Structures are given as structure tokens and as C-alpha cells.
Amino acid sequence: MNFRSEIPGYVRSVMEKMSSRGHEIYVVGGAVRDLAAGKVPDDFDLTTSASPEETIEVLNSFGIGYADTGLKHGTVMAIPEGKKVEITSFRTEGGYKDKRHPDGVTFIKDINEDVKRRDFTINAMYLDPDGFVTDPVGGLKDMEDKLIRAVGDPEERFREDALRILRALRFEALTGFEIEAETRKAMIKAAPGLREISAERIASEFRRTLTAGYASKAVRGAVDIISIFIPELKACEGFDQRSPYHDLDVLEHTLAVLDNIPPAEYGKRDEALALAAFFHDIAKPLCFYLGANGVGHMKGHPVVSRDIAGKRLNELKFPVKEIREVEDLVLMHDTFIKPERVMVRKLMASYPAAFLDKLEILQRADILAHAAPGQLRMEKLEHISAIRRQLTGEGFVTDIKDLDINGNDIIALGVKPGPAVGALIHCLWEDYLSEKVDNNKGDLIERLRIYVTFPT
């Protein structure tokens, strides 16, 4: 197996310059993983026996630009041909008192030492400038066997840096690989260490996990881990809804909905949709009560699920705008208006088209994850969707500003400037939404006569 021709020119030229000065240099991490899996990498990380100062010296002598913001950790960001390539010096790491940052970093010359600080065997394959893989801990075999395995003693590795637990889940979600048994055991044992990891880092891994193709598999095997930062998830596991509409427990239903959200781009799901699917029913165990006939009810769960999503995403420091979108999707997931034109017009005037598109995807995914009696809703959903498309085709406007009449037009008709003008426009807007008037100036002015008498 030789990957020489798959290393892009700008990466190879950096590698060749480093080795021309006697430094060992390899591609490592995600790019090697991708190449070994037959995929085209989008991001190349390099690792070298040169110290950061030596790397800078080489880059300088060949006139290659760089940024040195990661120098403390031994990383120089080379910028050949305007593209970014991280070059990290071989290093060992001291203790991890804070479970995240090594207390001290020592630069070393030996790849067999560098490998010991890497997280998983599939991330510890080194590709040299000639395109050959050096594989000190059996990463290629684990790729073949589709296994995610910690390098060295798994318990120690997750104790050192609990973020690795979530990295493992992300790689599982991306590849669909199995997490090797000892590695998984150690992850679960070390999970409380996640409490010491910053919200931003947890969020970054979690969002990448949920949007990846095998997200449901990763979540299913990691309920106890994810419950460290989203505790409400735990109660969903095995929770019987006792409802004719559901043949799955809340967790399995949730994962089925997640699976039903189709990938948007680059094989990834839209993030707000993935998060909304994750949270949409999370409050069901909290809202559950058993009716006299033995049927379970979960009234109000969209509101409570919305509140839980808001609270947890806030703690994880997601952007406010994204949180609002997820909250709205969760809140609305169970709301189905009458499939009538006027109702759909009012809906379209209340929410942006992009939001309604996402809501439709979420609702479709949700219905598909219901038992047969729940499928009746699909007809309603498709009907609403068809009306929405039809209205869009007809040029239906969703913003009052696009009404074909404005304040000046109304004043010109003899109405005194003041609050009455705005009130009249609102009346016309309501009439337009209710299909009582078309959106053209003549008809709108005619309609005004219902509300005011104009001097003739």
C-alpha cells in the first residue's frame, strides 16, 4: 500500500523540504485514517522529529509562511500556497493534573515515544513523504477490523484526558467502527472526568458526533457518558411509552428519528436538526402519566423538552441563535395545523421558510419512527407541505413589508398620519392571510373601504 500520489503537492513540498534538512516528517491523524479507508482527506496534519524552532527555520529558509500561535504545544501552522498545514513536533506529555492539559511537554526525536501520547491506534499511523505507512501500534489492522482502540493502557489514557472519551464517540459516529471492549469499559469508568472538561470542547465533540452518519450507534452505546452533561438522557433508556403510537422506548425512538434525518451536505446532518431530534422527546419520562385505560400520556412534553434543550445547550455554550432554532423545532415538533390554505398562510407568515423546511424534515423523521397507528399523520404533513409549495409557486408573500400598499399610500387617501395608518396595514395583512384580498394595490385600497370612509 503506497499513498504517495494521494498526498497533495502543497503538503508533499513541505514534507520534502523538512526531510531535505534531515528531519523525519509524517502525515498523521485524520488524513491517514481517511486514506487507509479509501477516502480523500480534507485536512493534513504533519508530525516531525524537528523541534518547533527547527521547523520554523526550515520554513523560513524556503520562504514558506507560517503562524506560531500553537508553539507552546509544539505546533507550527505552515501556510504553503495559502493552505494550512499543522506541523507538530514529536513529543511526550507529562502528567495531566487537570485531566486536559499536560503539565509539561517534552520534545523528542523518536516516533516510538511520540506514539504513546496519541489517543487511538487508528490515529497513530504515520505516513512518510514516500507514501509508506509506519504503524507502531497496529492501526492498520484495527482499521481493517473496524476497531477503535486506545493506545496503551485505556484507563490511564482516559484518566489523563477525558476529552478522549468524546473523541472516541465522534470517531465511532463517523466510521461506524466498534469501540474495542476494554477501551469502552475504560471510557465508561472515566466518564465522570468529563465534568472537568470545558463546555466548549464537549460541545465541539458532541455536535460533530450527532451530525455524523453513525450518530445513533454512538449515542446508544454511550448513554451513561452523555448523561454526564445531559442527565435527562438516562431516563429515556428503556422507558416504555405504553402508547399504541409507539413500539420503541423513548431512547430507541429518539435514535430512530435521528437516523431518519437525512444528511444535508458532505454526508453530515444539519446541526440544529440533529440536536432537535436528540432533544425532541427527552422530557417524555418526566411528563409521563398513566391513563385509567392503561395508556401512557405525555402531555406537554414538547414544552418541557424545549426547556431542557435550552438549558443544556446553554450550559454547553452553544451559540444563542442555534439554541433558539433548536428550541423552536423541539417545541413545534408535535404541532400539526389543519391542512388548509389559510392556516398554512398564517404559519408561513409566522416562521421563516428555512425553519419550516427543517420542521418538516423533523416531523417526517418523527412520524416514520412511530408505530403504524401514528403514520396517519404523514398524510396531514404531506398535505401541509403540498399547500406550502403551491403557495410559494403562486408568489404568496410572507412579510407584511411586501404588501402592495404602504403608509404613504394610505395617507394619500386622506387618513391622518398616526397609529391608525399602521393599524390599517395590519388589518389588510390579516385579510390577505385569510385570502379575503389579493396582494395588489387596487384591491387593497378597495378593501380599505371596509375600515374607513374616504373623502371623495
Q: Which does 123 bind (CB under 5 to 8 A by kind): ligand ATP, Mg ion, none?
A: ligand ATP
Q: Which of 149, 164, 217, 447 binds ligand ATP (CB under 6 A)?
A: 164
Question: Closest distance between Mg ion and the C-beta of residue 71, in Å?
Answer: 18
- Go through the chain and tell me how many residues it has: 456
| Cell numbers for 283 | 422530557
DSSP-assigned beta bridge partners for residue 91: 107
399 membership: H or E segment, kind and range: none
**Whole-angstrom Cα distance, residue 364 to residue 389?**
16
By the rule CB under 6 A, 118 interacts with ligand ATP: yes
By the rule CB under 6 A, 163 interacts with ligand ATP: yes
Near ligand ATP in 88-107, by CB under 6 A: none
Nearest to 344 by CA among 375, 380, 376, 379: 380
By the rule CB under 5 A, 41 interacts with Mg ion: no
β-strands 65-67, 296-297 pairing: unpaired
Question: Closest distance between Mg ion and the C-beta of residue 75, in Å?
Answer: 11
Closer of 29 and 129 to Mg ion (Cβ): 29
Which DSSP state fits 404?
A: S
Residue 267 CA neighbour count, 13 Å, CB half: 10
By the rule CB under 5 A, 161 interacts with Mg ion: no
Nearest to 103 by CA among 119, 92, 116: 92
Q: Which does 129 bind (CB under 5 to 8 A by kind): Mg ion, ligand ATP, none?
A: none
Residue of closest CB approach to Mg ion: 30
By the rule CB under 6 A, 119 interacts with ligand ATP: yes
How many chain residues interact with ligand ATP (CB under 6 A)? 13
Question: Closest distance between ligand ATP and the C-beta of residue 247, in Å?
Answer: 37
What is the rounded radius of gyration, in angstroms, for the C-alpha atoms of the chain? Answer: 29
Closer of 34 and 155 to Mg ion (Cβ): 34
Nearest to 451 by CA among 417, 404, 412, 410: 410
**Whole-angstrom Cα distance, residue 176 to residue 161?**
23
Q: Which of 161, 232, 281, 325 binds ligand ATP (CB under 6 A)?
A: 161
Closer of 114 and 270 to ligand ATP (Cβ): 114
CB atoms within 10 A of CB 259: 18
Closer of 46 and 274 to Mg ion (Cβ): 46
By the rule CB under 6 A, 196 interacts with ligand ATP: no
Q: Which of 123, 175, 241, 363 binds ligand ATP (CB under 6 A)?
A: 123
By the rule CB under 6 A, 207 interacts with ligand ATP: no
Select from 26-34, 222-230, 311-319, 402-410 the region that touches Mg ion (CB under 5 A). 26-34
**Whole-angstrom Cα distance, residue 363 to residue 385?**
11
- Asked if residues 120 and 182 have their Cβ atoms less than 8 Å apart, the reply is no
**Nearest 10 degrees: Cα torsion 251, 313, 208, 252:** 0
Pattern 4-33, ligand ATP, x by CB under 6 A: ------------------------xxx---
Sign of the Cα pseudo-torsion (112, 116, 122, 127, in order): negative
Question: Closest distance between ligand ATP and the C-beta of residue 86, in Å?
Answer: 7
3-state SS class at 85: strand
Nearest to 72 by CA among 57, 53, 48, 59: 53
By the rule CB under 5 A, 30 interacts with Mg ion: yes
Q: How far is CA 72 from CA 53, 69, 115, 127, 146, in A?
A: 11, 8, 19, 25, 34
Q: Which of 7, 25, 50, 124 binds ligand ATP (CB under 6 A)?
A: 124
Q: Which does 124 bind (CB under 5 to 8 A by kind): Mg ion, ligand ATP, none?
A: ligand ATP
By the rule CB under 6 A, 301 interacts with ligand ATP: no
| Cell numbers for 279 | 432533544
Q: Which does 164 bind (CB under 5 to 8 A by kind): ligand ATP, Mg ion, none?
A: ligand ATP
Residues at the contact surface with ligand ATP, assessed by CB under 6 A: 28-30, 43, 45, 118-119, 123-124, 161, 163-164, 167
Residues at the contact surface with Mg ion, assessed by CB under 5 A: 29-30, 43, 45
